[in-house]
A and B are shown apart, each in its own frame.
Chain A
Amino acid sequence: MTLPTRRVVVLGLALTVGPAPAQQPTPRHATPLTIDVLDVGQGDAILIRSPEEKTALIDAGPSRHVVELLKARGITTLDLVVVSHHHADHYGGMAAVIREFRPRFFLASNSSHTTRHYLGLLELVRDRGIQAIGPTDRPRRIELGSVLGRTGGPAGDRAGARPADHRGQALSFGRGAGAGQGDRPEAAGGDPADGHGGVSHARTCH
């Protein structure tokens, strides 16, 4: 997907860790949650910054150009990077991101689809000692400060319904922002029943 313009969504609504009791008001933060959809041309790169200044990058576009975009936004470290699926327009800039920002966590699916280029990225993650996390049999909760994320099941895929090269990582933040299951537009979106909504709607898949 080509994103001809950069879209920025700034969200001032509070997001809490865990469902808040219905009778208590939701606490508000001085700093809003921000989601930047970076203009990387082909593919995606979405920067999420929590009110506590925790940072996550979902996909890195096709090239190292994303590094300059992140620096221009004042990013010096990343807590989490995510590869939504194994297509180069989504991970092509990730090696440069890892070299530049050395993220704490690297999240990707275990899809068997690969290339020498993708193998090189995985080797970099291993060799740099980045903490890798992946899909498990049950959804995993990821706390990005007060922003809750949740991974989907194994490979983010439903019983092999998708071809191997489209298997990816299902990830949702709040109600809307997510790295989808490959190029699958209908896959993104959190569960409103979680009670930590507030994100209007943004997603990486297309």
Chain B
Amino acid sequence: MPIRLSIDRFEGDRKRIAVLLADDGTPINFPKALLPKGARADDGPTLQIERDAEATKRVADATKRVQDDLRKRDPEGDIKL
């Protein structure tokens, strides 16, 4: 379900952080670069966040593959630097 927000202001170094407010006043710091082009203070954007089981699994599987690759190269035992 889309979350209704308001762009309250821009903050930080070069005003790169947009402070978005939920309807209950909860502030969300959000990179300005990820807002739609032309977004400005007082705009009322919506945000939709969904779980993505397939994408989650892809990252988990890829991580395990790389961890396995790294583990194969582990000399094991004690390490002397």
Contact = CB atoms under 8 A, between A and B. Distances in A.
Interface string A140-163: 111111000000000000000000
Interface stretch (A36-44, A93-101, A120-128, A193-201): A120-128
Given A112-B64, A116-B59, A125 B70 contact: yes
Contact of A123 (B66, B71, B73, B77): B66
B67 interface: yes
Q: Which of B62, B64, B66 has the most CB of A within 10 A?
A: B66
Contacts of A118: 63
Contacts of B67: 110, 122, 134
Contacts of B80: 143
Contacts of A105: 79, 81
Q: Which of A105, A125, A133, A142 has the most CB of B within 10 A?
A: A133
A124 B70 CA distance: 11
A104 B67 CA distance: 17
Interface residues of B, number: 19
A141 B63 CA distance: 26
A54 interface: yes
User: DSSP majority for the A interface?
Assistant: mixed
Interface in B34-81: 59-60, 62-64, 66-67, 69-71, 73-81
Q: Which of A112, A114, A118, A141 has the most CB of B within 10 A?
A: A114
Given A131-B73, A131-B75, A122 B81 contact: no
18 contacts: A54-B81, A56-B81, A80-B79, A105-B81, A110-B71, A112-B60, A118-B63, A119-B66, A122-B63, A122-B66, A122-B70, A123-B66, A132-B73, A133-B79, A136-B76, A141-B79, A143-B79, A143-B81
Interface of A: 54, 56, 79-80, 104-106, 110, 112, 114-116, 118-119, 122-123, 125-126, 131-134, 136, 140-145
Interface of B: 59-60, 62-64, 66-67, 69-71, 73-81
